[in-house]
Amino acid sequence: MEIFVIRHGQTKWNQEARWQGSMDIELDEVGILQAENLANALKDLSFSKIYASPLSRAKVTAETIAGQLNLEVEYLEDLKEICLGPWQGKTSEEAYAHNPELFTLWEKEPEREIGFGIESYGGLQKRAVKVLTDICQGTDENCLIVSHGAWIRALVSHILYIPLNERLCFDIDNTSITVIKYNPKKNRFKIKTLNDINHLKNLSE
């Protein structure tokens, strides 16, 4: 089976390079257009189900796709973005200035839990892998997941054996498509397509 993993469309905070985390930030006008283009690109494909993060930027992206495919969306808490506590709403520079020592620890030791409502990348990765595995074991048909940048990055890093310290070595753009193949006999995941944004070409012309 194949799982199409989608990042939500663009938000104003994406444009401002602000960390959204688990805050509920809506799509901007460009993000809505991106979601519509994505839905149009997927309209001739067949999926058994759409799963999505309940945060509105993912929810609207998923519902736009669902409208084209005539499917219902199931919302799962474990598809939500990494929670960044007091750093949410800040740029990375502002987050560093808020607490340089804590920020450096979080960056250099991504598996370590540091508290203060800040989720580790290791914790994020564990829940991403678990929910994907649960989804795959519940069906043998192709399905679609709409989630977030850090969530997808953590998942792909796991599948490709990329250390979390190197998680920024590839891009996960807004409304990008990452296709994961699942072999149920071996319980193994493979990346078939990474960060496909061909459906956005007309928006940049």
pTM reported for the whole predicted model: 0.96
Other beta carbons less than 10 A from residue 93's beta carbon = 10
List Cβ neighbours of 29 (8 Å cut-off, separation of 6 or more): none
In whole angstroms, give the CA distance from residue 136 to residue 142: 9
Regarding predicted confidence, which is higher, 132 or 138? 132
- The confidence score (pLDDT) of residue 185 equals 85
- The confidence score (pLDDT) of residue 7 equals 98
105-109, Cβ contacts within 8 angstroms, sequence gap of 24 or more: 108/165
In whole angstroms, give the CA distance from residue 72 to residue 84: 30
- The confidence score (pLDDT) of residue 26 equals 97
Q: Over the stretch 7-16, which tens digit does the pLDDT of each residue have? A: 999 999 999 9
In whole angstroms, give the CA distance from residue 93 to residue 18: 10
Coil, strand, or helix at residue 66? helix
Q: Over the stretch 38-87, which tens digit does the pLDDT of each residue have? A: 999 999 999 999 999 999 999 999 999 999 999 999 999 999 999 999 99
- The confidence score (pLDDT) of residue 139 equals 78
Range list of H helices, the chain = 12-15, 29-42, 56-69, 92-98, 100-108, 121-137, 149-159, 201-204
The answer on pLDDT for 204 being more than 80 is: no
In whole angstroms, give the CA distance from residue 129 to residue 51: 14
pLDDT over 90, % of the chain: 93
